[in-house]
Chains A and B, each alone.
Chain A
Amino acid sequence: KAGVTQTPRYLIKTRGQQVTLSCSPISGHRSVSWYQQTPGQGLQFLFEYFSETQRNKGNFPGRFSGRQFSNSRSEMNVSTLELGDSALYLCASSSRPGLGKERTGELFFGEGSRLTVL
């Protein structure tokens, strides 16, 4: 069973540009969440998508956005990049077995996309 796949693994951008990151969850998982990891702030929650709808959002500016497709693959976009956006962006998938069924909420992470903004 393939794990969570994130692309690209590494990218370098300049201030003012925009970037799109992609995440393919584990087959059958319908929930995808995104996190930003920096040495100073640690792991911070960006947003979660389930069934193509954003279900929860962290405290990030509107420059950070995302979407989820019908096959559960997700993308996140950062516009007007700033130096402080340099970080490791991690995607996690989780299963939701259905109403009435207990779920574990276990998160499975990809290897991340390392973004450097110059």
Chain B
Amino acid sequence: KQEVTQIPAALSVPEGENLVLNCSFTDSAIYNLQWFRQDPGKGLTSLLLIQSSQREQTSGRLNASLDKSSGRSTLYIAASQPGDSATYLCAASEGRAYAETSYDKVIFGPGTSLSVIP
């Protein structure tokens, strides 16, 4: 049974710092790993998606890496800003990328609550 954990549960940093959020999953048979951001009371915003054949993805100040063999993914945020304050969730997808009707199963981690202090 796939389990996804995230460390730390909460993080508070001063503005400008670089930081790393960690995500671990127990079953390496995933076909993607997705990072999301959630603001209070809002839906989830997709940040980065890494296919199982990829090692990392970058978007602006964000970089996500995936190591299936160790069951880990990290989200690196460079030069943090107060606007980055939110909860960050990772999600591991089990299924088949080439099967139109694959029965996907997406397991979410509990999230890391990030606060960037001005």
Verify if A79 is at the interface (C-beta below 8 Å from B).
no
A97 nearest CB neighbor, chain B only: B100
Contact B106 A90 (CB under 8 A): no
Q: Annotate A1-28 by CB proximity to B: 1 below 8 A, 0 otherwise.
A: 0001010000000000000000000000
Contact B32 A99 (CB under 8 A): no
Task: Give complex CA distance A107, B104 in Å.
Answer: 11
Verify if A78 is at the interface (C-beta below 8 Å from B).
no
Contact A43 B108 (CB under 8 A): yes
- State which size class the interface on B falls in: 20 to 34
Verify if A66 is at the interface (C-beta below 8 Å from B).
no
Contact B101 A104 (CB under 8 A): no
Task: Give complex CA distance A101, B104 in Å.
Answer: 16
Which residues of B are found within 8 Å of A109, using beta-carbon distances? 36, 43-46
Summed over the interface, the residue pairs from A and B with CB atoms below 8 Å come to a total of: 78
Contact B43 A110 (CB under 8 A): yes
Contact A96 B100 (CB under 8 A): yes
B110 nearest CB neighbor, chain A only: A42
Chain A 81-105 interface residues, beta-carbon cutoff 8 Å to B: 88, 90, 92, 94, 96-105
Q: Given A42-B108, A55-B101, A106–B43 Cβ distance below 8 Å?
A: no
Contact of B41 among A51, A97, A102, A114 (CB under 8 A): A114
> Interface stretch among B14-22, B77-85, B87-95?
B87-95
Contact A56 B49 (CB under 8 A): no
Which residues of A are found within 8 Å of B103, using beta-carbon distances? 48, 55-56
Residue with the greatest number of chain B CB neighbours at <10 A, chosen from A43, A88, A111:
A43
Contact B34 A107 (CB under 8 A): yes
Which residues of B are found within 8 Å of A94, using beta-carbon distances? 104
Contact of A101 among B36, B42, B98, B111 (CB under 8 A): B98
Which residues of A are found within 8 Å of B101, using beta-carbon distances? 50-51, 55, 96
* Extra A-B contacts (9), CB below 8 Å, given A96-B101, A104-B97, A109-B36: A4-B43, A31-B104, A35-B108, A45-B106, A92-B44, A101-B98, A102-B98, A105-B31, A109-B45
Interface residues, chain A, with chain B CB atoms under 8 Å away: 4, 6, 31, 33, 35, 42-43, 45, 48, 50-51, 55-56, 88, 90, 92, 94, 96-112, 114
